[in-house]
Amino acid sequence: MSIFNNRNFHETSNLASDIDILTHRYNWILKPIIQEFKNKSVLELGSHNGRFTFACLKMGVSNVLGIEQDTEMIYKAKQSLSDFQNFKFIQGDIEKTLPQIEEKFDIVLCMGVLYYLDCQEVLLQCRKRCKRLMIVDSFVNRELVPSLRFLQNCLCESGFNYTTLDVPNDFLGYGKKRFALHCRPIIPLF
Ligand SMILES: C[S@@+](CC[C@H](N)C(=O)[O-])C[C@H]1O[C@@H](n2cnc3c(N)ncnc32)[C@H](O)[C@@H]1O
């Protein structure tokens, strides 16, 4: 059974919200390292309608702080997360908001959002706040989208080691070439 079952993520967004795709991404990227989420703090960039906030809370994290520019999506996320208390959203632009956050987090989620942002600058900002693990997933389907090689270079320059995950054979990701990485600070923060 999907971790997203019985939730209205599909109804609250038309943006890659197909439950099968969300489940595939969860199974591919998060589930193999589920034990790393227990009791950890999470910063989530581009939390949208709370789909991966929800997955983190179900995996037993201690708290999630999401940054999202879309007020309506924050409203919908709060409705979908009504069983939980340990989350908070900041409504705002990631590039402006991130430098103002002083807190450090065990895990940073950077899923489906880097292609909207200044990749290098945002990864540097993430590095200053990420204690243990950063998850990146993205896709390549047009020129402006950072390629995997560009992203890997940005990660090195920002002080992350990374593992690029093999794409499962059965995962089309809406026909786009998706890629995902587990990234770890070269020097862990405490
Ligand atoms: C494609 S959705 C990804 C949602 C989810 N993280 C996922 O991977 O399925 C990208 C989200 O990032 C938000 N977003 C994009 N650029 C942003 C910015 N500069 N500041 C804050 N949120 C932003 C969008 O509003 C949208 O909700």
Choose the residue to mutate in 53, 54, 69, 126 for probing ligand 1, maximizing ligand atoms within 8 Å of C-beta: 69
Domains, in order of start, for the chain? 19-185 (3.40.50.150)
State in Å: Cα 175 to ligand 1 middle: 20
Q: What is the value of pTM for the model shown?
A: 0.95
In the block, tokens 């705002």 appear at 92
Chain mean pLDDT for the chain: 91
- Cα separations in angstroms, 139 against 5, 9, 63, 188: 25, 21, 27, 27
pLDDT of residue 144 exceeding 50, the answer is: no
Ligand 1 touching residue 11 (CB < 6 A): no
Distant-in-sequence, close-in-space partners of 184: CB < 8 Å, separation ≥ 6:
132, 133, 134, 160, 161, 162
**Using one digit for the tens of pLDDT, what is the confidence trace for 67-117?**
999 999 999 999 999 999 999 999 999 999 999 999 999 999 999 999 899
Ligand 1 touching residue 69 (CB < 6 A): yes
Ligand 1 touching residue 30 (CB < 6 A): no
CA 190 to the chain's CA centroid: 21
Ligand 1 touching residue 48 (CB < 6 A): yes
Choose the weakest-confidence range: 19-33, 48-62, 129-143.
Answer: 129-143
- Residue 148 — pLDDT band, cuts 50, 70, 90? confident
